[in-house]
Structure 1
Amino acid sequence: MTCLSTRGIEITADLECPLMNSEFNGRPERAAESEAAFWRSLEELLPLFEREGIALNLEAHPDDFCEEPPAVDLVRAINKPYVNYLYCAPHTFHLSGAEPTADIAAMMRYAGDKLQRVHIADSFDHKGSSGLRYILNPPGTPARIHQHLDIGRGEVDWDTFFGALRELNFDGVATACVFAWEARARESSAFMLHPYPRGAHRVKRGGRTGCAGSGHLPHRRRHRPTHRRSAKVPLKVITVA
């Protein structure tokens, strides 16, 4: 994840990377002010993305000024083919807002063709047990709690998750982003490779898995490697631990 800034774009270009993932940032209690700052930043940064030929995926993160499905509306309002949406599975229970359950399929369908990348890790539903699963002191502390766990150690509905990807003919990149156990990072990364064959088969199209694409890239100033959407290759999985 890279900071949405001129320096972040410069570093991405220096690394000859065609894609940046970032967040909305800002503060939820100052949503209007934060959104205005977000648009001012984009006025400066979008020409740099164009010039460098770098695509951008934006992720709604817990405690951002926009941390629920309307974040997709902001992505669509940018109205650039190289700016798309990243769905982070361990944020599922925050993305669903105050709803007692998380309708993963509905949230992914809402993103539609703007969904170009997913982060895969498990998490517990912080709204469980009538909102008493986590006790924060003092009461009313405005904190956001989530985890990045191995698949199966939390409460994300993975059958629905992979089923929705298949329904949408998802052809983006899936990244395993588990970092809950530094002491067993290697074991965790190795474990996270195993659920993919069982889940990724649900994303197959016509006997093939979805291809590893990076979305529509703007015109590139100089040659850098790209992932061509027409290439028929297995679903690309990146592990981060």
Structure 2
Amino acid sequence: MLQYVKVNIDGAIIRAIRGTSVLHTALEYGICIPHLCHVPYLSDIGACRLCIVEHMVNGHSNVTTSCTLNVEEGMVIMTNTDKIRKLRRNLAELLVAQAPNSRAIQDIAVRCGVKEVRYPFRNGDCVLCGRCVRACNELWRAKAKGFVGRGKERHVDYPFGARPDFCKQCGACIQLCPMTIPPCDGPMKPGEERLCGQCESQLMTNEQAPGGCVWCKLGEGFGCGRYVGSRAR
């Protein structure tokens, strides 16, 4: 039997299923929280950090990822404060610097209010979101891909750097990867990286559309996949 709790998200009292994440609950009720590594049918690891929120505990604010924070009775969550918006802009800026050739990441940066990238571009092909690893391990149980190394050397690879025989070649890792959708003008060459911004006029920010979700259809397929509507009560 499902058990329900009442939580306060941005001033709305919401009835949520105990054990679900704050991110899942917010998206179910049409409350926009940006995210990249989250996939509804996979476990959450909080890798991209974009879904950070303020969790108020005894009058103190704790910044944490909403995908890894489960709802509890009476908890108070704030998803769009000045502090959170500033942190998200910086996180989105870092993601663009790491992987400017991802349209999904470029769109996220625009929606988070990034106007320029102050960090050196690395033109990488991975942001360690873990979508491919979790799909391989949790959906297909193949475990053909995983994280390798530590710190700056951390990356995704096959065991011993070679595709194993037990790889199903299903393509799930490619389908879920945010790097598979290039910017509108095609991949940027080294030295030509920039914040694209060409879609800025077509994309709304949270401030421009406070009553509606602006994250759906993110990068042609990186939407939350949830019904968007006002069901808070």
Select the structure with the greater relative contact order (CA < 8 A; seq sep ≥ 6): 2
Which structure shows the higher helix fraction?
1
* TM-score, normalised with respect to structure 1: 0.24
* TM-score, normalised with respect to structure 2: 0.24
